Structure 1
Amino acid sequence: MLKVAIYGKGGIGKSTVTSNLAAAFATMGKRVIQIGCDPKADSTINLLEGKPLRPVMNYMREEDEEPEKLEDISKEGFGGVLCIETGGPTPGLGCAGRGIIATFQLLEDLRLFETYKPDVVLYDVLGDVVCGGFAAPIREGYAEKVLIVTSGEKMALYAANNISSAVRNFEDRSYARVFGIVLNHRNVENEVQKVQAFSKESGIPIVGEIPRSDEIIRYEDQGQTVIEGNSESEISGRFYDLAKKLLESEE
C-alpha cells in the first residue's frame, strides 16, 4: 500500500496536488482513499463535483456521538476515490490538531483500511506549523512518504524548510520520510532557481513541477480536477508522471 502525506504552507496548492494525484491514481486502476487533514475541510471538494463533504468532527459535534459506519463520514468521488475530511473544532475553540488525532483513532475503530483495502492513501495536511496533531500522519505510522508542495515564494520555502526539519526529527524512528518536493509555480521572480537552491541545500529532490495554469482554475470552478476535466492535457500529464514516480518507488 502506497501511503503519502502531502504538506505545505496554507494556500500553496496542496489540495489541488492531492486531489489530482488521487484522480490520476484512480484512472490508473488503483483503489484510493484521500483524507483531508485541514480544518477548512475542502481537500476533496473537486473530487465530489464541488460539493463539500461533512467532516468527521462536524458529525461528532452535531450528532453528539461517534459514527457507527464508514458511510456516515465518507463518500466516493471521481474514479471511486473514497473521500474523508477530518474537519476541526468550532472556530476559536479547541485545537485543530486534536481533531486529526481523534479522527484517525475513529478510522482505526471503523477498520477503514481493512474494509476498503486501498492501494493508495493520500493525506492532505496543513503544514505551516507541524504541531503534534498535524504531525500525526507522519509519526503514527499512517504515511510512509512525504511530499512537500512549495513555490518560490519566501514564506512557502520557509514552511517547506520547517516541514522537512520536522519530518527528519522522526526519521530514526522508522516513520515517514520526505520523498520529494513538488514545485507548484506562482511565477515569482527566479522561482525555479530559488526552489532548486532549496532542493540542493536540503538534499530533497524536486519530483514534480506543476506550471501555473488557467486550466486548473477553470476545472476547479466546475468542481473538477484537471484529470477529470481533461486527462490528456499537458498539466494532467504532470500529475500522472508524479503518480508513476510514487508507484515506482514502492516497487
Structure 2
Amino acid sequence: MPNDEKPTTSVWTRPRPQKREHLTREQIVAEAIRLLDAEGVEELSMRKLGTRLGTAATSLYRHVANKDELIELVVDDVYGEPDVPTVVDRTRWRTAVTHTAGELRAMTLRHPWIAPELGQVGLVHIGPNAMRMSSALLAQFEAAGFPADEMDQAMATLMAYVIGIATAEAAYLSVIARSGRTEQEWVAGLRPAFDEATQEHPRLRAGSSAQQDVHPQRIRDDNFAYGLDRVLDGLAARLTT
C-alpha cells in the first residue's frame, strides 16, 4: 500500500526564496529576536514585526510561510551564539562539555523565551546552527569514549539538565526584572517573609542563613555548577563500566 502521509514540513525543507533588496531573511530574523527579547513570544506577530521593519506583513510572507517557520529561524539563529569546542582530546572532554553547558545556559538566559519554543518547534532541529552545535557536542562525547549508540543519550541528558535549570532561572530573573529591583534588592526584600515562613522548618532556615551574605548570582552559578558536575559524574561513570 503506498504511503500517502505528507512529510513533516519545515522552513529548512523547502527552497529559500530569492533575495529582495529591500528586505532579507536575516533582517527579519534579527528584528524578530529583538522583539522576542524585549516583549516575549506572546507579543510576536507578523503584523507587529512588519511594523518594526517598516513594511507590510505580506512582505514577510515572501520569506517565511507562517509564524512557526519564523520561530524555526530565530531558534536556529540563537543556536549559533554558543562557543562550542569542535576538537577535543580524551583527557579534556569534561572541560569541553562544561564550557558548552555554560554557553548554553548563558544563551537561554539572554533569550528567556527560547526554552518553551524548543519543544514547540520539535525535538529534532535541522537548521544549520543547531546541527553544527549538536555535532560538536557529540564530538565531545565521542572523544570521551562513549559508544556510538550512547552519545545521543549522553547529549540529551546534558541538554535536559542545562535547558531545564536555565528555564527556571530565566523565569525567576524575569520576575525580578518586572519588579524594577536588582536581584540583591529583591532577595533582601523577600528575606523577612522567608525567615517567618521557615520558623517551623529549621533545615530550610539553616541553609538560607548560611548563604545570606553571598551574592544571589554567585549562588545561582554555584548551584548550576554543582548540578552539572553531578550529571557529568554520572555520565563519566558509564565510561568505567
TM over 0.5: no
Which is richer in helix? Answer: 2
Using the size of structure 1 for normalisation, the TM-score is 0.28
Using the size of structure 2 for normalisation, the TM-score is 0.29
**Structure of larger gyration radius:** 2
